[in-house]
Structure 1
């Protein structure tokens, strides 16, 4: 019987030692995935913080709301609403001679108001207008006895 050498060669000669075991490769994808997830979470937190800051800033901004009714009608009924600090206040003026104006300041996340008019029994024409800050007025016209018009400005 032939004798085996410690390196696996049969007797009669020496062979090379077995190659060293390859070093175990570290997997990089879990680390890359972890970094990507952390960056995504950090970006989401930053966006939420920016939006929250904008909401707070906008809710504390004060605006001026101007209500106006003009025209030829007599005995016009006027109702207007104003959003103030998240609440809606409603006011009414009856049998008003024209022109009529009212200006209020308000703040809160929702700002602005609406103005509704009803022409009296004697008829005529009435034009309502709501202007928020220096923006464009929102207008509507009511013509004839008991005609209605509604203006909204936000």
Structure 2
């Protein structure tokens, strides 16, 4: 058996002071270049994931606070019309429904109370065949005010976005 057949033996050059390929790869000053792309890939995945988690947590906090806040919504219908159908949203037991009234004279007003996100819908005032003029207004506790007007037979004033 010669020296090159032994495990850990030097191949290529023989003799004292010969360096194996393994020793050469780990010798000081001859380190292999580091791969940087796995770290960049990891950051590219982690940064958006952490940012998304923070955004979801923030939104959940806002929704929780908003969902329990009491809200008062006031409806008003004014004008000269004598035949008006008014439709407006109401909230009961956490559910949204609609109320409908037929008015022979104006003005009319109403108020409903709800919580946070249980709001929305539209207040509509529809004139009958006799026409006239009608205006609607919706005011919410948070300062939201919506107004609209209409005139003529079967015209509709719609206040929404509150």
- The alpha carbon displacement at 1:28 in A equals 5.9
Aligned-pair distance for 1:31?
A: 6.7
Residue 112 of structure 1 aligns to a residue in which SS? Answer: coil
Q: Which segments of 5 or more consecutive residues in structure 2 lack a partner in the other structure?
A: 1-9
5+ long unaligned stretches in structure 1:
1-5, 10-15
Match of 2:106 among 80, 92, 98: 98
The match for 1:62 is: 70
Considering only aligned residues, what root-mean-square deviation do their CA atoms show, in Å?
A: 3.1
| Deviates further, 74-83 or 32-41 | 32-41
What is the TM-score with the length of structure 2 in the denominator?
A: 0.68
Count of aligned pairs: 143
Contact residue 74 and residue 138 of structure 2 kept, 8 A: yes
How many Å separate the matches in 1 of 2:95 and 2:131?
Answer: 34
**1:29 aligns with one of 33, 36, 44:** 36
TM-score by length of 1: 0.70
Relative distance call for 1:49 and 1:94 in structure 2 (3 A) is same
Deviation at 1:58, TM superposition (A): 2.2
Which residue does the alignment assign to 1:3?
Answer: none
